Structure 1
Amino acid sequence: MSDHASHRQFDGTLVTAPFGGENVERTARDEYRTLLDEHDSEDVLVVTGAPTSTDTFRGALGTELPGAATPYVTSLVVHATDVLNQTDDRVILSDALRRELLHRFLADYEWETEYLQRASDQPSFIKDVDAVMGTLSWQTITPEETPELRDITAALDAFHEWLAEHDHMERGQLISEALDVLSGDARDDVVDFEAVLAVEFEEFFPLDRAYLDALAGDCDLVCIAEENASVRRTWVESGPVTDYVSFSESRCGASEAPSTRPAATAAYFAEETVPVDPEAGSVSILATDSSDEQLAEVANEIEELVAQPNWNYGNIAVATKQSGSTVTDTIEVLERTGIPAESTTVTGFGDDPAIRELLAVVRHLAADEEDEVPDRGPELDTERLDRVSDIYSLEDAVRWWATDSGLKERIAERSTPLDARAQFGNVRRAFRMAEFLEETEFVDATWESFEDMLERAHEYAPQQNQTSATDLDDGVRVDHLQAIKNESFRAVFLVNLVDGEYPGDPFLTRLFPTERVASMPDYPGVTELHEPDVDATFPTTSTASSRPFARYHTEHARRRLAVGAGAADEHLYCCLYEYEDTALEERAQASRFLTEVYNRLSWVTEADDPHITSEQAAEDFLLSRVDDALAEVRRANSRDVTVSLDDLEAELGEVQDLLDKSGARGEELRKALRARVEFANGEVRR
């Protein structure tokens, strides 16, 4: 998609900041201060590329304002939403409702191309088409060469028309629809500022750049682009953003050497520069045997950090390469060990006990009398269910059931405050779905429809939600690397740093084979590539592959690591495992990028042997160590060798200290230990 036809001329200033969050914030403060010499703070609009980074820039620029004044900071998507809320009566669908309607729209859709007709029989087809449609919608791209992509675009246009007939639109239309408003007579009604400062300009898509141009109009415009840092835009457009734009004035922002080891490591990932050791902060490699042990070790290390004064869970992030199930699996492991976790890219809808309970009720009410009532979920009060079924309104019925069954009280009693807030949020989302069914003409307001909608929301919970920032409540942040760009955490854990993941294989969609996608000139992603495209986009060289497509996606994976490492203020943990979780226990290679930084940067060290700091870790260690010791003794017995118990005694001493402090819980673990020994000795049977 690297087509320079979208070249745009801006009347304003482009400031390029050298790679690194410190340089970007320093440059943003300098430019903001200059704008404040000419304008009041309420007349300067600051626009970010992503909703997740608005808080970062609000905080960084707030230091330039006196007292309690706060900068006027928003993101492109949020600004476009505000414009349409003022000028358009159409309802903007949430991601969950849009997905539900798209499923229903595509269920009987007649595809033109034979390939899509055949593919539509696959269970994952709608999910896969949905992902491609989402990209087309957000970028307003019209493929012209590939018949299947033209077919998908026609379906997307028909879907948008269907939504418009019912006065709805999807979030992917926000920028393009708001651009129409800003390009028309209503612009003066929605624009109330004199200057625009655009940060993260390196991530602006062609459509975003058109929106910014219309938004700025005759106002003073300053754009800040970070060099060698684009991950979102370079997924769909190669080269630096400066290849696609011209400004009346250009200059370089302030540059200083990285002040911490995590920042210096990020700079090496991004540009292969070897900075002087900043001697502040730490970069540790956390290696374990298996991927399960890797997450257990991460949880243990997190507990050790928050045990220190002035640390809390909100100071810490765990970053994965992809969104979806990788994020939800990580959240699940952390929460099982008692660590609160949260995410901006996935909802907890899929594993929320409150939603499971609500879903069981809806399944029961949706079942015909002849149907066998599903036996999934908790026991239900049939008398209460009979009363619910007599209530005419779906929304009133589910709200009454939640109140009468004491669902809210039970959430509050059984959950930590953070979990309770998340579960209340999910229940409110379910209420909104019921309300939507009542108000829309798209779908019948029946228990069957509500069941379909809840089931699908439950199934799709791990899907990426790229359109809005989520309110966060100070748990450990778990997200994919791109989502933490320009945020800062005292400690960041980059997980799964094995070669199969970084770089892994190039992957754009499940809808078409990778080789086919690589040759599609009009696919909404970087596909047809030549050597100069790779060299213009990345200064790094990490692989000997002669194929530009493979090289490009290898360097892109490396840059994502740079963005993740840059989010760590004090401690960066690079986590990996030695064996894949397969029956064959295949050995996993350390990521080539990690091997390189370990060899080139003197401050990247292997983590110390971890201390046992959490009860979960103590339990796992204690029981597994006892098993290992008993096995060792049995082996020694059969081979007639001597075993020293001194090492075992020393290792268990640390656990013993923790158990002594754990009161009743410690006693439970001691009982588990005794039971383990008795079982091993054959004194008891399972």
Structure 2
Amino acid sequence: METITWQDVSFEKTPELVEVAELVEAFHKWLSEHDHLERGQLITEANAALSETEKRDDVVDVEAILTVEFEEFLPLDRRYLATLANGLELVCVAEENASVRRTWIEPGPITDYVSFSRTESTARTAPPSRPDATGAYLANETVHEDPEAGEVNVIPTETPDEQIKKVADEIERLRDRENWEYEDFAVVLKQSGSAVIETLRAFQQTGVPTESSTVTGFGDDPAIRELLQVVRYLAADDDDIRIELLEASVLDESILASIEQMEGLSSPLRRWATESNMKVRIAEETSPLNVRAQFGNVRRAFAMAEFVEDTSFIETTWKSFASMLERAHEYAPQQNQTSSTELDGGVRVDHLQAIKNGTFRAVFLLDIVDEEYPGSPSLTRLFSQERLSEMPDYPGVTQVEAEDVTNTFPTSSTASSRSFRRYHAEHARRRLAIGATAAGDRLYFCLYNHKDTALEERAQPSRFLTDAYRQLPWVKEATEPEIRSERRAEEYLLSRIDNALADVRRSHSQDVTVSLDEVETELSEIQHLLSESGTRGEQLRDALQARIEFAAGGIRRD
């Protein structure tokens, strides 16, 4: 439904899509009756308003329009641009063999859909670095001379978890040796959504700060949970329910009593945030990289309260607002995809399309296995691939002919005979090229040998990586990095304790000799290191003590 709205497409051939479109039309009609508009309708409405206005010169007060990244303009974007640029000089800049967003919707180069009075092509130059040359090979199958600048490394690991740990170690090694900042690094995945969320969490556990266009959302925000408790309390009619809410939370009853006497919804909610010292608590209890996101979520809750106050078809009561906030909290993903532009200095963790035309000193491309690159086409979960490939009007590339593949991609790296699978395999290769060209000095292909499944299924390296490894002599396996990240250091520290205790126990049962002097020396060095490490050292000291007591039988697991 969202795709239909954003692309402003109509359906007449596929019965399932016609039914979905009818639902969208009914929804938009209902919104219009209540003076509202879905965000996806904005370009369509702007195009209509611009076409119908008699005062165009007052609206479009420019003499020329410069459009960049034109290779990604969808049909609706192009219609709006044509209306906007009517009678003006228009210059569009597009990159060849680089479209990933538009080619997901329509095949072929964009020049097949538009015409200009004059076209120019810039002269091709040799790639300045090995990452650029690797990206060019993935995009065009062009093998260039070795630029000798930069590095392209492969990081193989046994499991996806170990992949994250090795990347974190390499980031810390480069920061230590090259004096780079965290914002110089990008960790990139093929898909957005849960894959990015899980990777963000994994890096947070290693102690590496992160940033992303994927930011903390309603589903996992303690500030929103607190506001939800306040709203539930004010909406409750039963005193017993209120008592239960107070007992299950840290709400201040005196503040609740004072704001309950106020009129409206947004003002009492803001009063709670002020008098309960919420802003200070968020700043003190949350890492700097997440504070801005939480403040943004609180502002969104205030805006929702104002919406209920100002909208005539929703009753302005705490009960109706509680219903809205609960639904937003329940159905929101733990992380929301946004177009964040103000980032705060951590390692960038995102999907490939989000870093297009960005540049980082080092880029780590994760999960370079055949199951991901090329993987299987994943246009929608609503319909099977067989049904999808038969839908001529689906808003995506489904009915594909052989010439569509050759017109869209200069590469031919899949053995599949089906044009549908070939098209989307080449699309995956192009996305990999986009990630490679974002690397300035260093590019890393990261992969694992076994999946995180009960059967430990074996994962095959991506066919694209295998091909590049054969054709490009500068693609090499990375050397084993030293332990640099906090998480790996903790694991190593705990493992040394375990190994020392195991050696001592083994000396009794296996008649082997263990030097207690060496064990004592090693433990003394660890003790000294922890003493110099402040609060974090104290926490590790407690963990080590618990480890020793557990091994000695002094404590047990519940």
Q: Under a length normalisation based on structure 2, what TM-score does the superposition of the two structures give? A: 0.89
Q: Which residue number in structure 2 is paired with residue 578 of structure 1?
A: 449
CA contact (8 A) 1:394 1:445 kept: yes
Any residues of structure 2 matched to 1:377-396 within 5 Å, and which? 378-396=249-267
Cα separation, 2, equivalents of 1:294 and 1:655: 27
Deviates more, 1:497-506 or 1:663-672: 663-672
Q: Which residue number in structure 1 is paired with residue 147 of structure 2?
A: 278
Alignment pair present for 1:544 and 2:415: yes
2:188 alignment partner, SS class: strand
| TM-fit CA distance, 1:251 | 2.1
| TM-fit CA distance, 1:212 | 1.4
CA contact (8 A) 2:193 2:337 kept: no
Cα 1:172–1:648 shift into 2, 3 Å:
farther
CA contact (8 A) 1:259 1:278 kept: yes
Alignment pair present for 1:477 and 2:348: yes
Q: Which residue number in structure 1 is paired with residue 129 of structure 2?
A: 260
Task: List per-residue Cα deviations over 1:524-552 (Å, max 9, x = no partner).
Answer: 11111111111111112222111111111
Cα 1:609–1:324 shift into 2, 3 Å:
same
CA contact (8 A) 1:488 1:568 kept: yes
Cα separation, 2, equivalents of 1:163 and 1:532: 43
2:93 alignment partner, SS class: strand
2:332 paired residue among 456, 460, 464:
460
| TM-fit CA distance, 1:465 | 4.1
Cα separation, 2, equivalents of 1:175 and 1:145: 25
Task: List per-residue Cα deviations over 1:310-357 (Å, max 9, x = no partner).
Answer: 632222222222211222222223334443323224444332222232
| TM-fit CA distance, 1:628 | 6.3
Deviates more, 1:670-679 or 1:503-512: 670-679
Any residues of structure 2 matched to 1:584-603 within 5 Å, and which? 584-603=455-474
CA contact (8 A) 2:362 2:439 kept: yes
1:471 counterpart letter in structure 2: E
1:293 counterpart letter in structure 2: E
Cα 1:345–1:525 shift into 2, 3 Å:
farther
2:200 counterpart letter in structure 1: I
Any residues of structure 2 matched to 1:448-527 within 5 Å, and which? 448-458=319-329, 459-461=331-333, 465=337, 468-527=339-398
Task: List per-residue Cα deviations over 1:507-566 (Å, max 9, x = no partner).
Answer: 111222222112111111111111111111111222211111111111111111111121
Tell me the matched-pair count: 553
1:249 alignment partner, SS class: coil
Any residues of structure 2 matched to 1:364-443 within 5 Å, and which? 364-369=233-238, 373=244, 378-443=249-314
Q: Which residue number in structure 2 is paired with residue 604 of structure 1?
A: 475
CA contact (8 A) 1:340 1:419 kept: no
CA contact (8 A) 1:612 1:654 kept: no
Task: List per-residue Cα deviations over 1:75-129 (Å, max 9, x = no partner).
Answer: xxxxxxxxxxxxxxxxxxxxxxxxxxxxxxxxxxxxxxxxxxxxxxxxxxxxxxx
Deviates more, 1:346-355 or 1:182-191: 346-355
Cα 1:325–1:338 shift into 2, 3 Å:
same
1:179 paired residue among 47, 51, 63:
47
Cα 1:400–1:327 shift into 2, 3 Å:
same
Deviates more, 1:444-453 or 1:471-480: 444-453
1:335 counterpart letter in structure 2: Q
Alignment pair present for 1:231 and 2:100: yes
2:121 counterpart letter in structure 1: C
1:488 counterpart letter in structure 2: T
Cα separation, 1, equivalents of 2:516 and 2:14: 69
Cα separation, 2, equivalents of 1:195 and 1:134: 32
Gaps of 5+ in 1: 1-132
> Bigger radius of gyration, 1 or 2?
2
CA contact (8 A) 2:187 2:365 kept: yes
| TM-fit CA distance, 1:627 | 4.2
Any residues of structure 2 matched to 1:60-139 within 5 Å, and which? 133-139=1-7
Cα separation, 1, equivalents of 2:519 and 2:46: 67
Aligned alpha-carbon RMSD (Å):
3.2
Any residues of structure 2 matched to 1:558-573 within 5 Å, and which? 558-573=429-444
Gaps of 5+ in 2: none
Cα separation, 2, equivalents of 1:330 and 1:404: 37
Q: Which residue number in structure 1 is paired with residue 82 of structure 2?
A: 213
Task: List per-residue Cα deviations over 1:551-586 (Å, max 9, x = no partner).
Answer: 111111111111112111122222222222222222
Deviates more, 1:285-294 or 1:210-219: 285-294
1:487 alignment partner, SS class: coil
Identity of aligned residues (%): 60
Cα separation, 2, equivalents of 1:502 and 1:445: 51
Q: Under a length normalisation based on structure 1, what TM-score does the superposition of the two structures give? A: 0.74
1:582 alignment partner, SS class: coil
Task: List per-residue Cα deviations over 1:625-659 (Å, max 9, x = no partner).
Answer: 54467668878988889999999999999988975
1:538 counterpart letter in structure 2: F
Deviates more, 1:613-622 or 1:530-539: 613-622
1:506 alignment partner, SS class: coil
